[in-house]
Structure 1
């Protein structure tokens, strides 16, 4: 009912001259007539860290600079070039940009900060791709089936920090934990971003997992079927 798969192309580039040039070229290639290329940085002053991006914004009318601190409001449709973003930033961009995002390229600052996203999305590698030879381990197939079910059942316009959405998510995570299914919060956050979860929900999902893994039990009023995990195991077996 609430399928949210990301259907625009994605890329990740190294933070060097060749990588940044390739990232800009890739974004330009994904522009349609009338599009705006949006350059994202966390703060306005960050743009000065890269002369190529600063010149790109200053010299082109169809290029706009937005900041995460300013809410990253996209005023036009087109590709987005995120410079030095983390997974939390990607979630906020997807929330605010929605269908205006035609393509997304992320320039790397910290590989570990976005490795789970790269693992889940498998974006085009631009520049020096050696950092991505090792990706995060695959999620347990039972966890993937649980995430598929949650993606289809919760309303992604709502926060998973409260109400029905929290009950659904926490209930499922507790059931997985109690059944001994291993959960990796960062990898699950990357998966969620790759499948259209937005805003702070992917980040909150990872936080729930971390808390549950250390023994905390967030409250959930959702009562799952006693065979919930067994059903997930069967689906995972069928999918394999």
Structure 2
């Protein structure tokens, strides 16, 4: 068993002059000797849409541009500035560059694209923070306990689309649904990212939840004890 929580500093920045300036300064402040500042965009052409970031990359030898389309591999240890990202992008970064990431600042593609991640991680807010002032519904405590158990049980190097990992995840989600416990796919995806799930697994988790919420029942082999929901409820109530 091990702790998978994201343990490096995080920030979210608005896409305006103040937010961009603050994001760059924040990343620079988190650099150490020999570090590389990585600017991430989904496509290579995206960089040309922001002259300030383009100048940052082209004028500094210790700044590198990587793209999600190109794999998103982070080659040098240091802070990462993700521009116009969503939660699926963050999952890809954590899979291919998580160990090299010293700090992470995200400029969202749009506010709702990362709101569950912001709610779960509570990053430092840079620039205009008005988008994050509204209350965000919290996950049901029983769902949180289920997510904690899955985080410790599944092999995160494997996909949750097949094998034992799928059986565990889908069995748990179906049990929660059948017990009448409300599940929020996007919220659970944000929680998963905050607790070390990476690659496409957070995205696949949300898809399972959304499918189950509309009545679909993904196939799986039952692998849970009969008292699974009762034990989750006990933990949520502080009984274990």
Report the TM-score range of the alignment, normalised by the length of the smaller protein.
Answer: over 0.9
Q: Which residue in the other structure is 1:200 paired with?
A: 200
Name the CA shift for 1:163/1:153 in 2 (closer, same or farther; >3 Å).
same
Alignment pair present for 1:73 and 2:73: yes
Deviation at 1:49, TM superposition (A): 1.0
Normalising by structure 2, we get a TM-score of 0.98
Deviation at 1:2, TM superposition (A): 4.7
Where 2:221 maps in the other structure, the secondary structure is: coil
Where 2:15 maps in the other structure, the secondary structure is: coil
Partners of 2:30 and 2:218 in 1: how far apart? 43
Normalising by structure 1, we get a TM-score of 0.98
Q: How many residue pairs get matched? A: 240
Q: Which residue in the other structure is 2:131 paired with?
A: 131
Deviation at 1:239, TM superposition (A): 7.7
Q: Which residue in the other structure is 1:50 paired with?
A: 50
Deviation readout 1:3-38 (Å, 9 max, x if unpaired): 311101100000000100000000000001000000
Deviation readout 1:59-81 (Å, 9 max, x if unpaired): 10000000000001111000000
Q: Which residue in the other structure is 1:110 paired with?
A: 110
Where 2:193 maps in the other structure, the secondary structure is: helix
Q: Which residue in the other structure is 1:86 paired with?
A: 86
Q: Which residue in the other structure is 2:15 paired with?
A: 15
Deviation readout 1:208-240 (Å, 9 max, x if unpaired): 000000111011113311111011011001189
Partners of 2:193 and 2:66 in 1: how far apart? 20
Contact 1:136 1:187 in 2 (8 A): no
Partners of 1:238 and 1:9 in 2: how far apart? 29
Contact 1:80 1:102 in 2 (8 A): yes
Deviation readout 1:61-105 (Å, 9 max, x if unpaired): 000000000001111000000000010000000000021000000
Partners of 2:210 and 2:82 in 1: how far apart? 27
Where 2:237 maps in the other structure, the secondary structure is: helix
Partners of 1:87 and 1:153 in 2: how far apart? 23
Q: Which residue in the other structure is 1:184 paired with?
A: 184
Q: Which runs of 4+ in 1 moved over 2 A?
A: none
Q: Which residue in the other structure is 1:233 paired with?
A: 233
Partners of 1:163 and 1:209 in 2: how far apart? 18
Partners of 1:152 and 1:26 in 2: how far apart? 32
Q: CA RMSD in A?
A: 1.2
Partners of 2:223 and 2:165 in 1: how far apart? 13
